[in-house]
């Protein structure tokens, strides 16, 4: 009785340790995951806005560069126009000087022409008066008619000369007037061109002023977008830090959960081991009692004990299905992809296929066991147990005695599994051993 009480106490302590290991884990992982998802969604929105702002900024920078090129082109046109305007003004000043000189020459020629005309008129008048008043004297003074005609002809030649001189002055005056007119026409044309050039310069100045206003507006937009871009980048970095902190928190929670599950598993294993030890002790006591009874005068007790413990060899647990999808020993886990020891054999079969007890004994576990899913464990005495994992349905209860070949469960894929199959283990004193040393396919 003392040994049984100690084992029960050990079982209770193991269960209490499992409960304590599950306490104080803080925020559930699902809440942390939701917070991470929310922060990631906020970060995605910020990054979308940031992309839009950067795109708009690049568009404004492109437009700004285009306007700067237009400004440079306008400045070039303005410089050329101002140079042309300066040249035209210089030419206009030249023409004005030429016109002023031509005006003086015209005035001088006009005066000379008028003076010559008066001189011609005076001489003609004098000759006429002399010739009309003294013609008889001129005739009498002449030696002969020939001498008289010669004098008359001399007066005529003088008169013609004066007339030619006057005509020359008139032609010179006309020439000066023509040249002056040409200079004035050229000056008027130059002045008109200068005015047109001045108007073009004014229009260029106006266009340049409008372009400067647009450049100022776009630069203001770019400065505003720069500020918004900096703010969004700051928000993105802040969210990234918050997400990283939440991820680290989730990792810590996952580690705590794994530690809790490991502690619970260890507690269950300790409880199962304590129960198995207690059961084995009870079986041993019963066997010793049966042996003592048999030694006193009968063999029926011994035969009964052999039947309860399943004294015959083990049978194949899944009749009709003998193919193995995984053997006992080291392997790469099909789900976790990690290299670890496989503690049993996997026998694939359709879901619902009957699972038979490999040997008679007592059911010590019937329920969910972590990665094994729905599991049955049978104790066969002498520290020998068999395990049947991933079942779809359990047909026995803990504490129930079963015979060899009895249907105890149905094939399934519960727990950590990639498909319907039976995971079958044989353990000796709690340690897994090669099942094929105890059962043979077929």
Inside any domain, residue 165: yes
Could you tell me if 79 and 217 lie in one domain? Answer: yes
- Domain end residue (candidates: 209, 229, 249): 229
Could you tell me if 82 and 216 lie in one domain? Answer: yes
- Domain end residue (candidates: 204, 229, 254): 229
Helix axis angle for 2-21 and 145-295, nearest 10°, is: 170
Cα 194–chain centre separation: 57
Inside any domain, residue 28: no
pLDDT at 306: 34
Contact yes or no for 78/204 (Cβ under 8 A): yes
pLDDT at 308: 33
Beta-carbon count within 10 A of 159 CB: 15
CA geometry: angle 247, 248, 251, nearest 5 deg: 85
Alpha carbon distance 167, 303 (integer Å)? 175
Contact yes or no for 208/78 (Cβ under 8 A): yes
Total number of residues shown for the chain: 442
Tokens of 325: 């999808």
Inside any domain, residue 97: yes
Alpha carbon distance 352, 422 (integer Å)? 11
Q: Which residues, 6 or more positions from 184, have their beta carbon under 8 angstroms from its beta carbon?
A: 95, 99
Inside any domain, residue 122: yes
Alpha carbon distance 44, 41 (integer Å)? 5
Could you tell me if 222 and 324 lie in one domain? Answer: no
Inside any domain, residue 29: no
Alpha carbon distance 148, 226 (integer Å)? 116
Cα 367–chain centre separation: 51
Tokens of 112: 């000379």
CATH number at residue 91: 1.10.287
> Which of these, 53, 52, 3, 15, lies nearest to 271 by C-alpha position?
15
pLDDT at 194: 93
- Domain end residue (candidates: 229, 247, 268): 229
Inside any domain, residue 205: yes
Contact yes or no for 26/253 (Cβ under 8 A): yes
Q: From the first residue on, what is the mean pLDDT of each consecutive set of 10 residues in the chain (442 residues)?
A: 54 44 46 88 92 93 93 92 92 89 85 78 67 56 68 70 79 88 91 93 94 94 93 90 89 88 83 72 57 38 33 85 93 66 95 97 96 96 96 97 97 95 96 94 71
Could you tell me if 54 and 173 lie in one domain? Answer: yes
Inside any domain, residue 90: yes
Contact yes or no for 314/359 (Cβ under 8 A): yes
Could you tell me if 78 and 209 lie in one domain? Answer: yes
Could you tell me if 129 and 225 lie in one domain? Answer: yes
Could you tell me if 73 and 222 lie in one domain? Answer: yes
CATH number at residue 378: 2.70.70.10
Could you tell me if 211 and 320 lie in one domain? Answer: no
pLDDT at 439: 94
Environment class of residue 381 by beta-carbon count within 10 Å: exposed (0-12), middle (13-18) or buried (19+)? buried
Split into its structural domains, the chain has a count of 2
Could you tell me if 60 and 208 lie in one domain? Answer: yes
Inside any domain, residue 9: no
pLDDT at 288: 53
Beta-ladder partners of 243: none
Could you tell me if 85 and 224 lie in one domain? Answer: yes
Beta-carbon count within 10 A of 386 CB: 25
Domain containing 109: what range?
Answer: 49-229
pLDDT at 172: 82
Tokens of 164: 């030619």
* Residues 184-200 as b or e (16 or more Cβ within 10 Å = b): bebbeebbebbeebeeb
Could you tell me if 66 and 187 lie in one domain? Answer: yes
Could you tell me if 83 and 220 lie in one domain? Answer: yes
State pTM to two decimals.
0.37
Beta-carbon count within 10 A of 360 CB: 22
Beta-carbon count within 10 A of 437 CB: 11
Tokens of 260: 């809790």
3-state secondary structure of 251: helix
């Amino acid at each position: 009785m003392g040994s049984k009480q100690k084992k029960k106490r050990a079982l209770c302590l193991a269960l209490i340790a499992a409960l304590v290991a599950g306490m104080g884990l803080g925020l559930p992982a699902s809440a942390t995951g939701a917070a991470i998802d929310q922060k990631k969604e906020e970060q995605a929105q910020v990054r979308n806005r940031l992309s839009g702002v950067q795109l708009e900024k690049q568009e404004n920078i492109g437009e700004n560069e285009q306007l700067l090129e237009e400004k440079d082109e306008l400045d070039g046109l303005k410089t050329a126009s101002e140079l042309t305007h300066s040249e035209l003004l210089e030419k206009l000043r030249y023409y004005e000087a030429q016109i002023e000189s031509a005006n003086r020459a015209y005035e001088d020629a006009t005066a000379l022409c008028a003076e010559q005309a008066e001189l011609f008129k005076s001489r003609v008048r004098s000759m006429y008066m002399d010739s009309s008043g003294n013609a008889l004297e001129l005739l009498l003074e002449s030696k002969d008619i020939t001498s008289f005609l010669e004098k008359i002809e001399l007066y005529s030649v003088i008169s013609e000369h004066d007339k030619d001189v006057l005509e020359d002055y008139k032609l010179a005056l006309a020439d000066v007037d023509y040249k002056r007119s040409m200079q004035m026409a050229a000056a008027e044309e130059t002045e008109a061109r200068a005015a047109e050039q001045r108007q073009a310069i004014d229009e260029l100045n106006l266009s340049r002023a409008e372009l400067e206003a647009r450049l100022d507006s776009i630069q203001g937009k770019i400065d505003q977008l720069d500020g918004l871009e900096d703010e969004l980048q700051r928000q993105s970095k802040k969210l990234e830090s918050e997400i990283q902190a939440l991820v680290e928190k989730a990792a810590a929670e996952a580690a705590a959960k794994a530690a809790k599950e490991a502690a619970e598993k260890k507690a269950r294993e300790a409880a199962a081991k304590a129960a198995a030890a207690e059961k084995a002790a009870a079986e041993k006591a019963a066997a010793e009692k049966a042996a003592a009874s048999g030694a006193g005068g009968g063999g029926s007790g011994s035969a009964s004990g052999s039947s309860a413990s399943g004294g015959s060899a083990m049978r194949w647990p899944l009749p009709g299905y003998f193919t193995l999808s995984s053997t006992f020993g080291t392997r790469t886990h099909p789900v976790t992809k990690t290299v670890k020891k496989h503690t049993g054999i996997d026998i694939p079969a359709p879901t619902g296929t009957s699972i038979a007890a490999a040997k008679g004994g007592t059911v010590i576990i019937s329920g969910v066991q972590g990665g094994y899913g729905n599991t049955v464990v049978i104790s066969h005495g002498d520290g020998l147990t068999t395990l049947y994992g991933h079942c779809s349905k359990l047909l026995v209860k803990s504490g129930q005695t079963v015979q060899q070949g009895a249907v105890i469960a149905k094939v399934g894929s519960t727990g950590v599994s990639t498909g319907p199959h039976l995971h079958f283990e044989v353990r000796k004193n709690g340690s897994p051993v090669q099942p094929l040393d105890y059962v043979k396919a077929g």
